[in-house]
Each structure stands twice: as C-alpha cells, then as structure tokens.
Amino acid sequence: MERYAKGANFERELVRLFWERGWAALRTAGSGSTPRTVPDVLALSKGIVVSVECKSTSREKISLKGAVLSLKEFADIAGGRAYIAVKFPREKPRFYEINHLISRGNYTIGVRDNYLSIDALMGKQTLL
C-alpha cells in the first residue's frame, strides 16, 4: 500500500500544480489497473492537452521504456503532448517528453539528466 500511496500522492501533487497555474487537471481512474493504456494525469488549457505518466523512485536512475511505449500508444490516439513525470528523492517533479526519449533510443533517466520543469512544460505549450 505504501508504494501505491507514494504514486497517488505524486499524481495529486501534479494535479494541484497544474491547477495553481491555471490549467484544468485530473487523475484518471484506474490508470494502473485497466487493460488499456491510460495516463495517470490529464491536463488541459485552452484546447491544449497534456497526458502524463507519473513515476516516483528512491534511486538516482529509472528505466522508463514500458511507460514511454504505453503512453505513446495513448498519445497516438488522443493527440496532444505526452510526458513522463519523474519524482526523484528531494527533487521537484521533472518532465520528459516521450518523443525525445524515443528519438534518442535511451529510456533510462538519471537525476543529472536534462529535464523540463512544470513551468517550462507550460511555456512550451503556449508556443504552439
């Protein structure tokens, strides 16, 4: 249960952060327990759709291949932008665009790798 609570708390934190910045956001029901690919968080603002798969780790590196490929399946159908959000210990949420991870062919992220903050992600979205 502790692992579920940690993940759910991270998802709730992201939903709160999106709302605080003027976006509508929600956790999707059953995102880890359905046979279909469903992201953990959906955020919307003025027609912009962002789907987010959340991962939390106590380590300095995390492999995201399964999460990236599952989220890509959803994003190919739904459209919009798709990101993996990672919570490393004692760090703010970090966002990684799935198309970037796919194009580089490496799905392992480390605490020292480049990332987008939530504000950078939103700024990037407003440029579309």
Q: Give the other-Cβ count within 10 Å of 42's Cβ.
A: 21
CB 52 within 8 A of CB 84: yes
- Catalytic positions: 31
What would the 3-class secondary structure string for the chain be?
A: CHHHHHHHHHHHHHHHHHHHCCCEEEECCCCCCCCCCCCCEEEEECCEEEEEEEEECCCCEEECHHHHHHHHHHHHHHCCEEEEEEECCCCCCEEEEHHHHHHHCCCEEECCCCCECHHHHHHHHHCC
